[in-house]
Chains A and B, each alone.
Chain A
Amino acid sequence: MLRIDALEAIYPELEQCVVVTIMGAVSAELQSLGHRPNFFYLLHAMGLASSMGLGIALSRPELPVVVLDGDGSILMNLGSLTTMARYRPGNLTHVVFDNESLLSVGGFPTATATGSDVAGMAAAAGIPRTTTVRTLDDFRAAFTAARASGELTTIVAKVEARGPALYLTDLPMLENRFQFQRHLRALRDLGAQVSADA
């Protein structure tokens, strides 16, 4: 499975979610499919995308939040699995694209290349739903099921260690950051308006 195909398979659902991605290939490939104001790309601070997603999910339980993580990133912040599991927000879906490699910095193998099992660690940390998928159909089904379950889920998607030709985009980091914040504020104002109308 290629990550870009996996992203494309869930893109229509991502349009409905608040999305936080890691740096590198995940960010560049999602942008290549079309940037949206509900997508935030964390282009540094390796490991903290899952923590950011947890902060958003706990702050705004009404919003479906998706973190698009990677094996290298989550291995830098394994404690985050235990913190997510502790609070287990049902509106958070945690996808780990596992290419067993630090692809963006030269393709050095990560520990998942020698058998470390991210979904196993997530389950042992206490994440209520975990799965590892290897095909596009299984990934699409697992993602849809995770969102429908209303339970915190970690999906490990085994993907090939192939990335985009270009990692740079024309979206400056701060423009992304302020646009994303403004979008979350607008969603809250819209929610308040809907409640007032009801």
Chain B
Amino acid sequence: MPVSVKHSQLIFDALRACDVRLMSALPETWLVHLIRMAEEDPAVTLVRLAKEEEGVGISAGAHLAGVKSAMLMQNHGFLASVNGIVSLAHLYRIPLLMLVSYRGEFGERDPWQTQGGGATEPLLRALRIPYDRLDHPNHVAAKVRKAQTLAEASLSPVALLLCRDLMWEE
């Protein structure tokens, strides 16, 4: 499977460097190594979800309980989480660090993934969620750190888009 182990490790290490101790996840191809790393790290609580919106509630609980968390999901999982983001995270000022695999961009081969790509950034903008692209290994550590810092300072959701050029080895 040409999902990049090396770059998944970079992302995982960057999350751990921010003291992220709880990760919620719903598997998709690009996230398999990240989820395995979370499962194998005894210092991380991995919560496998049935649907991504649950992760908003779990991260809210973790935050109020004093634990930093991250959400690993596909962009379709982000689409499925919107009500929780608005009516819990925004309404109650809850920081969310959302790592969203950005399917449906240039290079996408799966026809069923091609609609979500076009909706992802317009929706992030409509929700006024600050976001950035993770598309080069050199920027991973700094961008993850800065995203986590902004989420905590603003008490709001932020998103990092995990892009094809970073996640996939052609």
Complex-state Cα separation, A179 to B170, whole angstroms = 50
The interface residues of chain B lying within 8 Å CB-to-CB of A159 are none
User: A55-B65, A174-B92, A177-B92 given as contacts; is B49 within 8 A of A79 (CB)?
Assistant: yes
Query: How large, as a class, is the contact surface on chain A?
Result: 35 or more
Are the CB atoms of B53 and A48 closer together than 8 Å? Answer: yes
**Is A113 at the interface (CB under 8 A from chain B)?**
no
Q: Which residues of B contact A47 (CB under 8 A)?
A: 53
> B45 to chain A: which residues have CB within 8 Å?
58-59
In the complex, the answer to whether A60 meets B66 with C-beta atoms within 8 Å is yes
B17 neighbours in A (Cβ, 8 Å): none
Q: Which chain A residue shows the least CB distance to B21? A: A59
Q: Shortest beta-carbon distance, A3 to chain B, in Å?
A: 22
Do the beta carbons of A173 and B91 come within 8 Å of each other? yes
Residues of B within 8 A of A184 (CB): 64-66
CB <8 Å contact, A48 and B22:
no
Tell me whether A80 and B50 are in contact (CB under 8 A).
yes
- Measured CA separation A46–B58 after assembly (Å): 14
Least Cβ–Cβ distance between A95 and chain B, in angstroms: 16
Complex contact A54–B58 (CB within 8 A): yes
| Closest A residue, CB atoms, query B88 | A45
Tell me whether A110 is interfacial, beta carbon within 8 Å. Answer: no
Cα distance, A56 to B59, chains bound together (Å): 9
A98 CA to B114 CA, complexed, in Å: 42
* Residues of chain A whose beta carbon lies under 8 Å from any beta carbon of chain B: 20, 40, 42-60, 63, 77, 79-80, 82-83, 86-87, 173-174, 177, 180-181, 184-185, 188
